[in-house]
């Protein structure tokens, strides 16, 4: 790779000045932001490399420097074979299988591995760290496969496929999605493959970066989705002629969970000034209390928010970590450790999958209430234009129900499983990569379930005319109507669901609500 370190660009993410943030991960992984290496941090990288090179000539064996790996840790490797040792390590561990992983996930794990390399705790050469930055900046993404990580000793196979590409082997994808042999892609980008020195192969593959990168991306997406859930619930309360009295400040102060208070506050503001809500607040209204899916929305949404806050704290600690084995300590020792074990991240990933499943479950229940004339407060069956001739949104609810059922299966924790490996040397593993993969699928499912609720509640709000929605929910309705027609005879529904999915994912739904009210 290039030996000259490129100067920091105006919009580059600078690596080495401290932990990268979730926002940094999203910027580089999803939006292609360039990275640059901090010159001061590179001096610490050089210092730790000097310590490794001193141990390399020591007559006493040192793990990963002059020995084999895992169950072969007691096998001494002669100096002339150590380059081959590192190359063989990466080649043998690049054993992934199955479908290829999304580019943004691979870019996230590469960024996080680079961040660890720049702590000066791994013993790699500065040129090796620069090689990762060069690959990211050239937008050459190693092809990584679905299966291969047990979430312990690091995300070994995924990280090994990335290290293989830096060596000029394996396959990469270009920015345009074209798969090329890594050697060809490096040449075309003006880059040189790295010949790994002592300890470097191990340093490139021994981290929780795959599961952590996916956690960071999920945290970003779920922060938006929890706000969307409050918007969807408010639209459903309004469309179903529910009460906003249960969202009063003093009621939620009686149970002061942070997330619950945030969700209730959002729903109060979203429903403020609603002519629909005001229309049934008089003494003539005989309804005593709403169904749980409406009345308890802040409690469920809030519990999920608190789970998100816990996962965010775990991610922040992990993003500030230097994970390798062995690790070069600040006082110059090279010590074996177990920090590569993915349990902390795996638990957070599994916990989020539970919250996601429950959030989708309560959303689907609200959607279902709209379609039943026995429960929808005077709306037509299935919100159909001509019930019987038209089926309305009947099957949209089936779709939501099918997704929720899948999310419940995905909520089963991966981190409770462990299958020993490496001749029983690695006899307890986290399965954190699997937890990350299923959470990623769950986030997509939640987005679709919320989209169906917003699609349904939008139609219901239209059917409440001449009464109008609150300013905030009306703004969301207006954005939906820019892409999806209002009530009418049956239409092809898939494009309409997909349109609202895109509105949610792009942030258009929350931006519309925030144009009228503050939304946490």
> Rounded to whole angstroms, how far apart are CA atoms 297 and 451?
17
Confidence of residue 4 (pLDDT cuts 50, 70, 90): very low
> Rounded to whole angstroms, how far apart are CA atoms 490 and 520?
36
> Rounded to whole angstroms, how far apart are CA atoms 202 and 160?
9
Question: What is the predicted pLDDT for the residue at 10?
Answer: 66
Mean predicted confidence (pLDDT) in 39-58: 91
Question: What is the predicted pLDDT for the residue at 156?
Answer: 94
Mean predicted confidence (pLDDT) in 366-377: 96
Mean predicted confidence (pLDDT) in 108-133: 97
Dump pLDDT digits (tens) for 376-405. Answer: 999 999 999 999 999 999 999 999 999 999
For residue 15, give the H/E element and its range: strand 13-15
Dump pLDDT digits (tens) for 184-235. Answer: 999 999 999 999 999 999 999 999 999 999 999 999 999 999 999 999 999 9
Q: What is the CATH code for 13-207?
A: 1.10.275.10
Residue 301 has pLDDT above 80, yes or no: yes
Topology annotation, domain 214-514: Fumarase C; Chain A, domain 2 (1.20.200)
> Rounded to whole angstroms, how far apart are CA atoms 105 and 84?
29
Confidence of residue 9 (pLDDT cuts 50, 70, 90): low
Question: What is the predicted pLDDT for the residue at 3?
Answer: 39
Helix/strand/coil for 320? coil
Contacts of 282 (CB under 8 A, 6+ apart): none
Cα→Cα distances 348→214, 304, 306, 345, Å = 11, 12, 12, 5
Confidence of residue 423 (pLDDT cuts 50, 70, 90): confident
Q: Would residue 299 be called left, alpha or beta, if left means φ above 0 and alpha means ψ between -120 and 50 degrees?
A: alpha
Mean predicted confidence (pLDDT) in 472-495: 98
Question: What is the predicted pLDDT for the residue at 79?
Answer: 79
Question: What is the predicted pLDDT for the residue at 457?
Answer: 98
Q: What is the pTM of this model?
A: 0.94
Cβ distance 160 to 86 under 8 Å?
no
Mean predicted confidence (pLDDT) in 481-497: 97
SS (H, E, C) 100-136: ECCHHHHHHHHHHHHHHHCCCCCCCCHHHHHHHHHHH
Residue 429 has pLDDT above 50, yes or no: yes
- Spans of all domains in the chain: 13-207, 214-514
> Which residue matches tokens 């002059």?
66
Alpha helices in 240-342 (DSSP H): 249-253, 258-271, 275-278, 292-295, 297-319
Cβ-based burial of 81 (10 A; exposed 0-12, middle 13-18, buried ≥19): exposed
Residue 496 has pLDDT above 60, yes or no: yes
> Rounded to whole angstroms, how far apart are CA atoms 311 and 249?
27
Residue 131 has pLDDT above 90, yes or no: yes
Residue 2 has pLDDT above 70, yes or no: no
Active site (catalytic) residues: 63
As a whole number, the mean pLDDT across the chain is: 93
């Amino acid at each position: 790779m290039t030996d000259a370190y490129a100067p920091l660009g105006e919009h580059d993410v600078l690596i080495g000045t401290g932990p990268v943030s979730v926002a940094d991960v999203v910027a580089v992984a999803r939006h292609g932001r360039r990275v640059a290496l901090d010159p001061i941090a590179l001096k610490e990288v050089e210092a730790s490399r000097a310590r490794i090179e001193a141990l390399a000539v020591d007559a006493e064996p040192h793990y990963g420097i002059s020995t084999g790996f895992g169950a072969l840790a007691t096998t001494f490797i002669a100096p002339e074979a150590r380059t081959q040792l590192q190359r063989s390590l990466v080649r043998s561990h690049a054993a992934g299988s199955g479908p290829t992983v999304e580019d943004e996930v691979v870019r996230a794990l590469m960024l996080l591995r680079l961040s660890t390399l720049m702590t000066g705790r791994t013993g790699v050469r500065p040129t090796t760290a620069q090689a990762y930055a060069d690959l990211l900046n050239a937008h050459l993404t190693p092809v990584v496969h679905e299966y291969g990580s047990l979430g312990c000793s690091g995300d070994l196979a995924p990280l090994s496929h990335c290290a293989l590409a830096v060596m000029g082997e394996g396959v990469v994808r270009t920015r345009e999605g074209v798969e090329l042999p890594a050697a060809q892609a490096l040449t075309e980008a003006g880059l040189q493959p790295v010949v790994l020195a002592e300890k470097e192969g191990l340093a490139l593959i021994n981290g929780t970066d795959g599961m952590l990168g996916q956690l960071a991306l999920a945290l970003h997406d779920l922060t938006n989705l929890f706000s969307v859930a409050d918007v969807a619930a408010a639209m459903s309360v309004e469309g179903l002629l529910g009460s906003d009295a249960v969202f009063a400040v003093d009621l939620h102060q009686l149970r002061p969970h942070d997330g619950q208070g945030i969700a209730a506050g959002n729903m109060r503001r979203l429903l403020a000034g609603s002519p629909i809500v005001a229309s049934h607040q008089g003494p003539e209204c005989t309804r005593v209390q709403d169904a749980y899916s409406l009345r308890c929305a802040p409690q469920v949404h809030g519990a999920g928010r608190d789970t998100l806050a816990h996962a965010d704290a775990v991610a922040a600690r992990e993003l500030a970590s230097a994970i390798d084995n062995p690790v070069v300590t600040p006082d110059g020792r090279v010590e074996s450790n177990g920090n590569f074990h993915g349990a902390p991240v795996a638990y957070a990933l599994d916990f989020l999958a539970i919250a996601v499943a429950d959030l989708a479950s309560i959303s689907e229940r609200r959607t279902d209430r709209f379609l039943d004339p026995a429960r929808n407060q005077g709306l037509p069956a299935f919100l159909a234009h001509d019930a019987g001739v038209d089926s309305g949104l009947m099957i949209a609810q089936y779709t939501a129900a099918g997704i929720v059922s899948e999310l419940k299966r995905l909520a089963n924790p991966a981190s409770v499983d462990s299958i020993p490996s490496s001749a029983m040397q690695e006899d307890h593993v986290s399965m954190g990569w699997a937890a990350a993969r299923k959470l990623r699928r769950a986030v997509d499912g939640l987005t679709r379930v919320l989209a169906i609720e917003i699609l349904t509640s939008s139609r219901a709000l239209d059917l409440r005319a001449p009464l109008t929605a609150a300013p905030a929910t009306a703004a969301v309705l207006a954005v939906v109507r820019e892409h999806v027609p209002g009530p009418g005879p049956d239409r092809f529904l898939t494009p309409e669901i997909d349109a609202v999915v895109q509105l949610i994912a792009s942030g258009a739904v929350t931006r519309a609500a925030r144009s009228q009210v503050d939304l946490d």
